[in-house]
Structure 1
Amino acid sequence: MPDGPSDNTTTFEGFYKALGRAVDGPTTWFREKVIAPNQKQYPWYHQKFRRVPTIDECYTDDVVCIYEANEQYKRDRNVDTEIVAILRDRYEDCVMYERPDHNEKCGPLMKQYDEAMTNWFIKYGDLGAYHDAKSAYMKQKHRMIWERRHGPVGSGMKKIPSN
């Protein structure tokens, strides 16, 4: 028995490699020379997702559209939550650094944080543990109806004239 590979094995391996290059070569070349240079390269933390239709633009039987709207809602909620957390951290850092004059020097940060927290609660608050884009949309709709009938939330109910 010879110690090295037989002549048939090397011939088969060469044929297999040549076939692989013939199939894979054009696709690899096209990806490296045409597709990759024309793509915008973003770092992973600046990834931009395309906006999808919101839940009010989906048909009731369009499961894919509803799923995409829910995923978009989750991304938006995570972004809004992180914005509120960053503003809170900035305010807390300002208070720690500027003590005892933090009331004057950190006042604008506190106003900005309070406004962001109020807006977050208006959109996402009181929805419960398991909520989706539809429940947030219904909350928004109910708030708009309330404000149309009674004025801004928190101002009390208007007297409805009886006919």
Structure 2
Amino acid sequence: MDSNTPKNAFNSFVDALVNLVDAPTTWFRETIVAKNRPEYYWYHRQFRRVPTIDECYTDDYVCYIEANEQFKRDKMVDNEVLNILRQRQEDCVLFEGHDHVRKCAKLREEYEKAAENWFIKYGDLGAYGNVRDAYMKQKHRMIWERRHGPVGSGMKDQLD
């Protein structure tokens, strides 16, 4: 109610009724519930990080399964990040129209870098790729780079 309106009996009754019901509820929520409820800063469940596949022994199947599950979760998160970046870039192109080449260059660059990194880690693994396949892919890439230089830079000369 506005402070300029005169108070009549009905308005006083409604105010008293609201205070009678609302005051104890508000007090209980602020003093009991809010102080005893843990604060959640994340909107998704956080899992503890487990040892990666390179830290597992060859016969430790539990470690392998945990590393594989973590790999799957990381892949889902990376997929969503890539989808968000793609959607932002597409929205910018639609919004900016003909100026999108200049105005959306930063978003496009971020998306292309993220897509490249995603492909380096998960590309060519297929739908059923697991953590061992990804680890072998990383190992083979490192061997290639040691022998021939970074991928995409051309092969360095072999001086044997």
Check whether TM > 0.5.
Answer: yes
CA-to-aligned-CA distance 1:38-78 (integer Å, 9 cap, x gap): 88453783221100000111111111111000000000000
Match of 2:79 in 1: 81
Distance in 2 between the 1:66 and 1:58 partners?
7
Runs of 4+ in structure 1 off by over 4 angstroms are 37-41
1:57 aligns with 2:55: yes
Over 3 Å counting, the alpha-carbon distance change for 1:58 and 1:49 in structure 2 is same
Unaligned 5+ runs, structure 1:
1-36
Q: Between Structure 1 and Structure 2, how many residues are aligned?
A: 126
Identity of aligned residues (%): 66
1:143 is aligned to 2:136: no
1:120 maps to amino acid: W
> Are 2:118 and 1:159 aligned?
no
Distance 2:47 2:104 in 1: 35
User: Is 1:124 aligned to 2:140, yes or no?
Assistant: no
Residue 93 (structure 1) aligned with residue 91 (structure 2)? yes
SS at match of 1:48: coil
SS in 1 for 2:98: coil
Matched letter for residue 91 of structure 1: Q
Measured in 1, the distance between the counterparts of 2:126 and 2:59 equals 25
RMSD: 1.8
Under a length normalisation based on structure 1, what TM-score does the superposition of the two structures give?
Answer: 0.72
In the alignment, the residues of structure 1 paired with residue 52 and residue 101 of structure 2 have an alpha-carbon distance, to the nearest angstrom, of: 41
Residue 115 (structure 1) aligned with residue 144 (structure 2): no
The separation in 1 between residues aligned to 2:65 and 2:46, in whole angstroms, is 19
- C-alpha separation between the residues in 1 aligned to 2:38 and 2:54? 31
- Give 1:127 shift: 1.1
Q: 1:111 to 1:43 in 2, by over 3 A?
A: same
Q: Corresponding residue for 2:101?
A: 103
